[in-house]
Structure 1
Amino acid sequence: MMKLIKSLFAIAFFFAINTVSAQSIASKWPQLNDFQQLLVKTFEPAGEGNFGPIKNSCEYLVEKAEALDVNTMPQDLRNPKADEAVVVLKRQTKLVAELVRTKASDVELMKSFQKLNETYDRLLSLYEPKK
């Protein structure tokens, strides 16, 4: 349980760091903004042990992920790594929804949700200025 709590804090930290980057990218790509808004609304309660929002919204999250079509991605955001990250993001979102449908444990659901979040973070990191 303590390990899960530490993981949740780490993910919350990543969300905080990526907020500025996510906002600038999302302002260019409305579909990504929609996905990000729902991801935050479902993840924050899960971090507090409340899995109701993700369980109730997982199909909607899949819809938002499916809307992330590389053809609607702004040209200045397109690159092969971003295209690949979007494909993985869609697949992981479907996996989270499948775990909800099959009534997987909260621990298993959280692990999958963390992987989804990590993929989202990787997508955002593609646009961070090089240091």
Structure 2
Amino acid sequence: MKNAIMIIMLLTAGLVKAQSKFDSWPELKAFHQVMSQTFHPSEEGNLEPVKKRSGELHQKAADLKKAKIPAEFRSDKIEEAINTLEKDSKALHKLIASGGNDQEITKKLSLLHDTFHEIVGLCNKEEHR
């Protein structure tokens, strides 16, 4: 249990640090806000937030895809991950709109969350520049 708490603390610290880097990228911050408000409840089995806000989540991903990536984060890998984020958020929204089952919604939301963290991780790497 202590190890799990330590891992969560380290991940949170990394994300907080990363968030401050994104002051120049408001579209990523906006996506993160909706993602956190929909993903974290799903970890406890509450899918109502994502069911109600999947359209908004997709719109934020589409806005992110259209936005200019700040120069310090621009790379082919980040662009590819953003394209995946937009495509998969659209698929999640369609799944929810068509009455998809909770297990599949949870799986797709988790993959979307992983893609978001991939983008954050790529932004923190020096090698992508």
Instruction: Provide TM-score, normalisation by structure 2.
Output: 0.83
List gaps (5 residues or longer) in structure 1.
1-8
- 8 Å contact 2:28–2:64 — kept in the other structure? yes
Cα deviations by residue, 1:76-107 (Å, 9 ceiling, x for unpaired): 11111011010001011111101101111111
List gaps (5 residues or longer) in structure 2.
none
Counterparts of 2:108 and 2:69, CA distance in 1: 25
Is structure 2 residue 43 aligned with structure 1 residue 38? no
CA shift at 1:22, angstroms?
3.6
Percent identity over the alignment? 29
CA shift at 1:24, angstroms?
2.6
Counterparts of 1:59 and 1:71, CA distance in 2: 18
Is structure 2 residue 73 aligned with structure 1 residue 77? yes
Out of 45, 52, 69, the position equivalent to 1:49 is 45
Instruction: Provide TM-score, normalisation by structure 1.
Output: 0.81
Closer, same or farther in 2 for the Cα pair 1:58/1:22, shift >3 Å?
A: farther
Cα deviations by residue, 1:52-99 (Å, 9 ceiling, x for unpaired): 110000001111011113652111111110110100010111111011
Letter of the structure 2 residue corresponding to residue 93 of structure 1:
S
Counterparts of 1:70 and 1:41, CA distance in 2: 22
Which segment is superposed worse, 29-38 or 16-25? 16-25
Q: Secondary structure in 1 aligned to 2:69?
A: coil
Counterparts of 1:18 and 1:38, CA distance in 2: 19
Q: Secondary structure in 1 aligned to 2:46?
A: coil
Closer, same or farther in 2 for the Cα pair 1:82/1:36, shift >3 Å?
A: same
1:36-115 matches, within 5 Å, as: 36-69=32-65, 71-115=67-111
Closer, same or farther in 2 for the Cα pair 1:57/1:15, shift >3 Å?
A: farther
Residue correspondences, number: 120
In angstroms, what is the RMSD of aligned CA positions?
2.2
